[in-house]
Structure 1
């Protein structure tokens, strides 16, 4: 294109050269996008195996333009040689200079970290990121298999820098009053405190089941895990749950349990085992 412009300059009058020959500033803009966060993977403990957890902080920078408007950022982390969390963030530049970001989290579990056995996934809602702005997501995917404690979670932020294209100089305008600075983004919650008051009781009319209840008022908690101490089996629960019935237990054996809270920054300690945390 530059060669054609040079040839046109040799044969056309200068006023004609400036009409329709220059590209719009937006079309030549380069958009720099930063994808940052932390990917967390747990290969849960169970009969015959020890649990393991891994986290992977990440930071990726990509450039988009109207001639190359989309790409996908991928982050992967394995835990315990079996459970693998995979985050993908699809980025697409739109004509309005906004970048649409769509995150998705998948959990694979098998005999190795290369397994393609998909056991859980969560897709984030697509969002538009304007120049100079950012969006954040928190995703969690758990293993849907019975008695599995495997899960993966991620906190990811997508930020677009200001457009780097140079625009023609504009006449100076009177100085405008400065706008107040935007408030800082709220701090991420810390790891939650451990639950208290864990109580385990036999279910009336069904001695093979027990009801586990606990107390927790820490707003930093997202959800809870329950561990059956007899078998070292861990089950993740849905958010805001503070009771759970565990079925198919031996009625002649004392059954003991522990509870912990977690959020995207990690898990609390297990609640100490006490007299109320076992059912005779």
Structure 2
């Protein structure tokens, strides 16, 4: 027996309580959620069955001012079997993305049918940090419970969370002796707080010159500077989605990031 239309309406995507999400801080840095995968629909009747596979690749951007989005994938096969796949994404103040997925199978006289036959969801909200993805090939498998029309739907998917990297932490600078040239150079050091940087940029604040350091590094040496002047530095992380803030900020020449005259 088919599920009633009232139930079909009741289980349409509704707001879910994303446990543990705090109110976000004001920020406009975009975070990208991408859903990739495939949906297979099988239409089964008294004269046999047919199937069709649909591929999807959808992305949305969220910020702390626009923190909640739904990605919906809808496909229909045979003019009567419809699959709907929803991904709800919400960004919290710590830049964690919480995702919840739901798949629904409908069967009726047309692709506009609202006659719900099966439904499955992820059973909870999954946290994704920047640069993280759900397991490749997460899977839903739904079957119409009607004996005479056992239509089915399966969805294989991956959800990824991408965005600018986190800022480095504890940036400091000190003079060290280059073991090859035997000249004094400045060693700029930091803590790598990001998991998705493509590089770091080190800025010599006295002139604004910027040099690039490899990802997953925490040290960069800058040579050719006078030992009689005060020199200050900032560091930021970069990737294909943007850049972090400079540490320290553009207005600061903080002592841990400076070396030379008047710096203890």
TM, length-normalised to structure 1: 0.49
Question: Which residue is 2:92 aligned to?
Answer: 94
Q: Partners of 1:175 and 1:96 in 2: how far apart? A: 18
Question: Which residue is 2:226 aligned to?
Answer: none
Question: Which residue is 1:264 aligned to?
Answer: none
Number of matched pairs: 152
Question: Which residue is 1:75 aligned to?
Answer: 73
Kindly indicate whether residue 43 of structure 2 is the aligned counterpart of residue 27 of structure 1.
Answer: no
**Is the 8 Å Cα contact of residues 25 and 93 (structure 2) preserved in structure 1?**
no
**Is the 8 Å Cα contact of residues 101 and 129 (structure 1) preserved in structure 2?**
yes
Matching residue within 105, 109, 117 for 1:111: 109
Q: Partners of 1:101 and 1:156 in 2: how far apart? A: 13
**Residues 240-259 of structure 1: CA distance to partner in whole angstroms, max 9, x if unpaired?**
xxxxxxxxxxxxxxxxxxxx
Matches within 5 A, 1:209-220: none
Question: Which residue is 1:157 aligned to?
Answer: 158
**Is the 8 Å Cα contact of residues 140 and 152 (structure 1) preserved in structure 2?**
yes
Query: How many angstroms does 1:50 deviate by?
Result: 3.7
**Residues 78-125 of structure 1: CA distance to partner in whole angstroms, max 9, x if unpaired?**
111111111010110012211111110000001111111001111113
Q: 1:146–1:65: structure 2 CA closer, same or farther, 3 Å change rule?
A: same
Q: Partners of 2:190 and 2:85 in 1: how far apart? A: 47
Q: 1:27–1:167: structure 2 CA closer, same or farther, 3 Å change rule?
A: farther
Question: Which residue is 2:142 aligned to?
Answer: 141
**Is the 8 Å Cα contact of residues 25 and 167 (structure 1) preserved in structure 2?**
no
Q: 1:30–1:165: structure 2 CA closer, same or farther, 3 Å change rule?
A: farther
Q: Partners of 1:153 and 1:131 in 2: how far apart? A: 28
Question: Which residue is 1:173 aligned to?
Answer: 189
Q: Partners of 1:78 and 1:142 in 2: how far apart? A: 15
TM, length-normalised to structure 2: 0.52
Q: 1:66–1:167: structure 2 CA closer, same or farther, 3 Å change rule?
A: farther
Structure 2 gap ranges (5+): 1-23, 173-187, 196-264
Q: Partners of 2:132 and 2:121 in 1: how far apart? A: 22
Matches within 5 A, 1:185-200: none
**Residues 211-259 of structure 1: CA distance to partner in whole angstroms, max 9, x if unpaired?**
xxxxxxxxxxxxxxxxxxxxxxxxxxxxxxxxxxxxxxxxxxxxxxxxx
**Is the 8 Å Cα contact of residues 55 and 77 (structure 1) preserved in structure 2?**
no
Q: Which stretches of structure 1, 4 residues or longer, exceed 3 Å deviation after superposition? A: 164-171
- RMSD (Å), alpha carbons: 2.8
Q: Partners of 2:121 and 2:107 in 1: how far apart? A: 18
Question: Which residue is 1:127 aligned to?
Answer: 126
Query: How many angstroms does 1:26 deviate by?
Result: 7.5
Structure 1 gap ranges (5+): 1-23, 180-280
**Is the 8 Å Cα contact of residues 139 and 153 (structure 1) preserved in structure 2?**
yes
